[in-house]
Amino acid sequence: VVRLAELLTLANPEPKFRQSEKIPLVFCGNEDARILITRTLADNFDIWIVDNVRPDTETTNTGPAKEKIHELFMENVMERAPGYAGLKKWVSADIIPTPAGVEKILRLYAENSKENILMVDMGGATTDIFSNISGDYHRTVAANIGMSYSVSNIMARAGIERIMRHLPEVFDEVEVRDYIGNKTLNPTYVPDSDEERRIEQAAAIAGLEVAWEQHREMNFKIARLGWLDKRKKIQDYNKFEDTFYATSEKYFQLSDVDVVIGAGGVLSHAETADEVFWMLTEGFKPRGITKLTLDKSFKSPHLGVLATVNPDAALELFTAECLVEIGWVVAPTGRMSADKPALEVTDGDTGKSRTMVGGDMLYLGKGGELKITLRDKVCIKGDQKEYTLKTKLPVLLDCRGRQEKTIKRAEMLDNPLSKSGIDEFSPKLGKLVSGIKASRPEIVKGDFDIERRLPYEGQIFATRRQNVKPDDVIGENRFAPPRLYILDLNRIAGYSRPLNEEEIKEGLLVAEGDNVSLGQGVFKVKPEGLGIPYRYDSPVRGRVSRIEPQGLIILREIQDYDGRPHTVNIAKQLDVKPNRIGPYMKVKEGDFVDKDRLIAQRMESGAPHLVKTPTTGTVKEIDTEKGFVTVQYDINPIPLKAFVGGEVVEVKPNHGVRIKGNGTTLYGIIGFGGEDWGRIAVLTDVRDMDSAMSGKIAVIDKAIDEEFLRKATEVKVRGIIAPSIHNADWVGYYGKEIGVALTGDEEIPFTLVLTEGFGNSPMNEVYRNYLMKVHGKHASISGRTQIRAGVSRPRIIVND
């Protein structure tokens, strides 16, 4: 924890809004670390201490931290939201976060209905899942699982295969990938065709699966109970299902869930109830007999606020105006197979009956007065074999099974509803034609002002008013962040008898700011009543950063490494022949050793011959012919380059600079591979990528592909500016999905900026005409892209 605090201090983050204010920081960890955390971070952060979220291994106490974070969010973020100040004057109740409002109305609804409930709110960036089972409420946020900013991350987390399995064969994977990638880059786009809407709904199913799996893993543990205990503890026990802990005293099975409620744009704005039915069924795979419901207008958060002042009115509005019943899913589990009857269903309204085998699915669009009879080794609840369901809502009887171990043919589970032949879930669709338009080209001419910062505290070489070129090194992180060492003096006397402050003060042999060598005495004391003097020698080398009254000495690594090889004559110091040093060595090649660490030892006539390393570093060589050992510290400095040409107008010591220059800036839509600079070289054809492009910024107005990128790697271009590439080609080259649209740190040998997005679009005419004119000019390009929480697009700066 203290190490993390030190890293935060070294990084020196700045507030987004007001530079004069400190960033609020909530510490909800170990009580014993509070003083250290406060002293470490107080200069840079506004620190708030709350109760430990994990006071012991069995207890989770998130309430105080949540309350403080909510309070700080309202004060530091919401207060700056447009219109918020006026809103506060209009309302009499407290303004609460959306999830808190959902929790309040969901609790009220569950208490009134006596049902076990799941609710999902699928947003653009995240997906919240709420559960109220046996009166115990849980909520999880699936971060970066959403339908606009985060839809690419669904593809990354779930895999394109889990999306394609829900789409008709007419859909091409390359086109689906491009649509999902472009939706991430244009998060406000609303699907304009049945084909686009179907892709988003298929992605929603995959996202629901990921979010639901995360909710189960975080909140419910599988109960390892014997068969007899399960029968005793769980009413209507299903032997074909796993049993979970709701709490340490309560158990449940997934078939105990009575109602699933869907909310969020992709669900609430679906064009038909069948689409909602499809997404909730495939996303959650309900078991037993489950009702599907939609919060059509998503007023549940608002009614949660109303529930604090008028719960009866809130509940009435929630059930009457918000919830729309969609249908029922009947999904037994058990030992089912395609050649064996699983159940028989009879409709009392029509008198029709049907016997269903494993893998069958039957959709009754108008419901009915249904009598369901289960066959041997097929189960919904306990030993009950007959069930009745009378409803006018659609009913899906789903005999695909839910666990591979309970069925003979695993492929039954892989049969999606969209390929079941049920018309309601298998609409006729045509070829995908994306309606997503590229963002408007933007060219800005004139002065630019950019900030260049080191990742953490280091050295700045540039001075104010200095003129710099893009390749100039203006700063450097020479070493990794210094390591911290914490020496606990109470280990001397034992924690059962902690040292008091007076004993600690009198026994200290070092002071803050002192350099301490390995093995140096830092503490010596004779505790009252013990009669035995104790001495504590430092097991590490470092500079005393702080000494805490309770007996902690904080040492910070001394980074005085020169990076040169240091050779030690082991044979001479041990007084042995060179080829005899092996048995006396305490280290081997590749070991990392600190300065003054013992590396060789030989006893002679009771007297030791000790050899210590003169420097910190890696043991590079043990030469048994010459009797030498070489130790060297590997220095891999991280340089900070100017990136653009201009004048340094401000220097922030040890952290960064501001550079002002003049030029023309163009913005792309997504980029990869950090930043670089060089002369612009225009290509007229993708086949023109050859050795003449080495060290250049290649510009092409046509779509590129994986082969083009590999050729660019071979010829060692410094950058590429292109309109588009198929998402599949980019993933094929890079080897990873995009995931969250926060790019720029990809380890590729050049910087890539796309102006239009994914697919095969040509470059827009405005950019094309400009870039053709600046052939041969110097340009700096950055691929860093951030779509959410402060939009940042890749940019091209052409120096005038």
Contact between 554 and 486 (Cβ < 8 Å)? yes
The β-bridge relationship of strands 386-391 and 521-525 is unpaired
Q: Which two tokens stand for residue 146?
A: 């959403």
CA nearest neighbour of 504 among 528, 524, 530: 524
Q: Which residue has the tokens 């007001």?
A: 18
- Which band of pLDDT confidence, cut at 50, 70 and 90, is reported for residue 228? low
CA nearest neighbour of 355 among 318, 399, 395, 320: 399
First to last CA, the chain: 48
Same domain for 615 and 657, yes or no, is no
Same domain for 82 and 12, yes or no, is yes
CATH number at residue 576: 2.40.50
The Cα-based distances of 70 to 99, 105, 120 in angstroms read: 11, 19, 21
Neighbours of 533 (CB within 10 A): 10
Same domain for 274 and 136, yes or no, is yes
| Mean local confidence (pLDDT), 93-102 | 82
What's at 727, amino acid-wise? N
| Mean local confidence (pLDDT), 760-768 | 96
| Mean local confidence (pLDDT), 308-325 | 94
- Which band of pLDDT confidence, cut at 50, 70 and 90, is reported for residue 232? low
Task: Report if residue 422 sits inside a domain.
Answer: yes
pLDDT in the model for residue 532: 67
Q: Which two tokens stand for residue 540?
A: 């590490």
CA distance 756 to 759: 9
Strands ordered across the beta sheet of 117-122: 136-142, 127-133, 117-122, 259-263, 288-295, 323-331, 395-398, 361-364
- Which band of pLDDT confidence, cut at 50, 70 and 90, is reported for residue 304? very high
What's the pLDDT tens digit per position in 234-283? 556 677 777 776 666 677 888 889 999 999 999 999 999 999 999 999 99
What's at 390, amino acid-wise? K
Same domain for 337 and 304, yes or no, is no
Same domain for 39 and 125, yes or no, is no
Last residue of a domain, one of 90, 124, 153: 90
pLDDT of 225 higher than 70? no
Same domain for 196 and 310, yes or no, is yes
HSE, CB side, 13 Å, CA atoms: give it for residue 716. 3
CA nearest neighbour of 466 among 642, 653, 675: 642
CA distance 109 to 618: 64
Task: Report if residue 437 sits inside a domain.
Answer: no
CA distance 504 to 498: 10
CA distance 15 to 144: 23
What's the pLDDT tens digit per position in 153-212? 999 999 999 999 999 999 999 999 999 999 999 999 999 999 999 999 999 999 999 999
Indicate the SS3 state at residue 507: helix
Contact between 130 and 138 (Cβ < 8 Å)? yes
CA nearest neighbour of 574 among 611, 543, 532: 611
CA nearest neighbour of 542 among 616, 476, 455: 616
CA distance 643 to 678: 10
Q: Which residue has the tokens 């979220």?
A: 53
Task: Report if residue 663 sits inside a domain.
Answer: yes
Task: Report if residue 438 sits inside a domain.
Answer: no
Residue 476 phi, psi dihedral angles, 5° rounding: -160, 140
Strand pairing partners for 665? 444, 797
pLDDT in the model for residue 84: 82
pTM for this entry: 0.86
CA distance 656 to 650: 9
Q: Give every CB contact of residue 727 below 8 A, 6+ residues apart in sequence.
A: 174, 177, 178, 180, 181, 738, 758
CA distance 266 to 278: 12
Contact between 485 and 547 (Cβ < 8 Å)? no
Task: Report if residue 774 sits inside a domain.
Answer: yes
Which ranges of 557-648 would DSSP assign to H, the alpha helix? 570-574
Ramachandran class of 247: left when φ > 0, alpha when ψ lies in -120 to 50, beta otherwise: beta
Indicate the SS3 state at residue 403: coil
Task: Report if residue 469 sits inside a domain.
Answer: yes
pLDDT in the model for residue 91: 84
CA distance 533 to 768: 81
The β-bridge relationship of strands 751-758 and 719-725 is parallel
CA distance 787 to 789: 7
Same domain for 26 and 83, yes or no, is yes
Name the DSSP class of 456: S
Q: How many domains would you assign to the chain? A: 6
Same domain for 108 and 118, yes or no, is yes
Lowest mean pLDDT among 61-65, 231-235, 361-365, 560-564: 231-235
CA distance 357 to 340: 5
Same domain for 591 and 648, yes or no, is no
Indicate the SS3 state at residue 615: coil
Range of the domain at 368: 332-426
Neighbours of 110 (CB within 10 A): 23
| Mean local confidence (pLDDT), 298-310 | 91
CA distance 783 to 796: 9
CA distance 782 to 795: 5
Q: Which residue has the tokens 């840079």?
A: 44
* H or E segment to which residue 133 belongs: strand 127-133
Task: Report if residue 561 sits inside a domain.
Answer: no
CA distance 650 to 436: 42
Q: Which two tokens stand for residue 344?
A: 């028989």
Strand pairing partners for 631? 566, 619
Same domain for 212 and 110, yes or no, is yes
Last residue of a domain, one of 555, 590, 607: 555
Task: Report if residue 456 sits inside a domain.
Answer: yes
Q: Which residue has the tokens 């939201």?
A: 81
What's the pLDDT tens digit per position in 674-706? 999 999 999 999 999 999 999 999 999 999 999
Q: Give every CB contact of residue 474 below 8 A, 6+ residues apart in sequence.
A: 452, 460, 461, 462, 468, 640, 641, 642, 648, 657
Last residue of a domain, one of 68, 90, 112: 90
- Which band of pLDDT confidence, cut at 50, 70 and 90, is reported for residue 10? confident
Same domain for 115 and 252, yes or no, is yes
Name the DSSP class of 506: H
CA distance 4 to 68: 21
Radius of gyration of the chain (CA): 33
Same domain for 541 and 573, yes or no, is no
